[in-house]
Amino acid sequence: KPVSFYTVEQLLRDFEMSQAFRDRAQNTQRDYRQKIRSIERHLPDAWKAEAEALTQPICFGMYDELRGKTGLPTANAAMRILGIAFSWGMSRGKLPAVTVNPAHKLKLKKEEPRVRAGEREEIEHLIATADKLNRPEIGDMIALGVWSGQRQGDRLAYQVAGRGNGRVMLRQSKTKALVDIREFSELKKRLDAAQARRKLAKVVSSHVILDERSWTPFKPDHYRHVYDEVRRHAAKTMRSCATLRDQDLRDTAVTWLFRAGCTIGEICAITGHSLQTATQILEHYFARHPELADSAIDKVELWWTRGD
């Protein structure tokens, strides 16, 4: 009779079915599942191994193998999720022999953060391209991104009830932070136009953004496909648009607000970023824009000349 033991596969599948997993945002759940599948696909021996037999050296080996097969970001995320699953299993008594989480404190190689803020002409060109392709709702999503700084999932889920008294009101799915900001004039024009198109089509929906080919809410994968199509067309006449992802719109909002003279606190009040995250975005923005330092020197020169 074969020996039965609790495997890494069972641990991760039980974690996927847990309330702790379901409490996470839908996008987070989807991302976790993708990373768990990468362990299943690329580490079949570890997948079938006894969970309590894993040690930190074994986890280091898993990490190194994953890095070679999937790249650094996926390997880092997969091992972090494995560590979260181990913590969950240990706290639920599923791993009684484990006293130290083998997937924690692995000193994963730090990833270079990706900060890509769109320039005004790039955003305008993307929106114009969406309109030209008869995809105005993609232009609306882009405008909502740069003028509210909200995540893609929250923009897709944004409710008509949240557009009250000329304000953008929603609760972020990831952090549960409440966003309540005045609707920027350029955004209001687009969303009012979207509402007019919907009225003409006699469509009633609780969602602000709809796929106007079917007049139904976008599924995330389909939205990303359509956005990428718009981006490819935009890049034909403005090559820099090729590298501008939808998730970059949130970084764009932070940098535009800063360029407009907003404080870090004001930026966070609009986008829902933490002070630390917003500062990190701006730190990378500074490094790519030496004209900010030149502007600072101009101010010092003026102060020196005045003799204050």
Burial 277-294 (b: 16+ CB within 10 A, else e): ebeebbebbeeeeeeeee
Taking the C-alpha atoms of residue 12 and residue 22, their distance in angstroms, rounded to an integer, is 13
Taking the C-alpha atoms of residue 99 and residue 94, their distance in angstroms, rounded to an integer, is 12
The DSSP output letter for 2 is P
Taking the C-alpha atoms of residue 285 and residue 251, their distance in angstroms, rounded to an integer, is 9
Which part of the chain is CATH 1.10.150?
8-91
Taking the C-alpha atoms of residue 78 and residue 80, their distance in angstroms, rounded to an integer, is 5
Which part of the chain is CATH 1.10.443.10?
120-248
Tens-place pLDDT, residues 200-245 = 999 999 999 999 999 999 999 999 999 999 999 999 999 999 999 9
CA-only gyration radius of the chain, Å = 23
Classify residue 239 as exposed, middle or buried by CB count within 10 Å of its CB (0-12, 13-18, 19+). Answer: exposed
Residue with tokens 């909200």: 150
pLDDT at 237: 96
Tens-place pLDDT, residues 30-65 = 999 999 999 999 999 999 999 999 999 999 999 999
Q: In the CATH scheme, what is the homologous superfamily, with its name and number, of domain 120-248?
A: Intergrase catalytic core (1.10.443.10)
Tens-place pLDDT, residues 164-211 = 778 888 888 777 777 788 888 999 999 999 999 999 999 999 999 999
Compute the Cα dihedral for 48, 49, 54, 56 and give only its sign.
Answer: negative
Helix (H, G, I), strand (E, B) or coil at 230: helix
Which CATH fold would you assign to the domain 8-91? DNA polymerase; domain 1 (1.10.150)
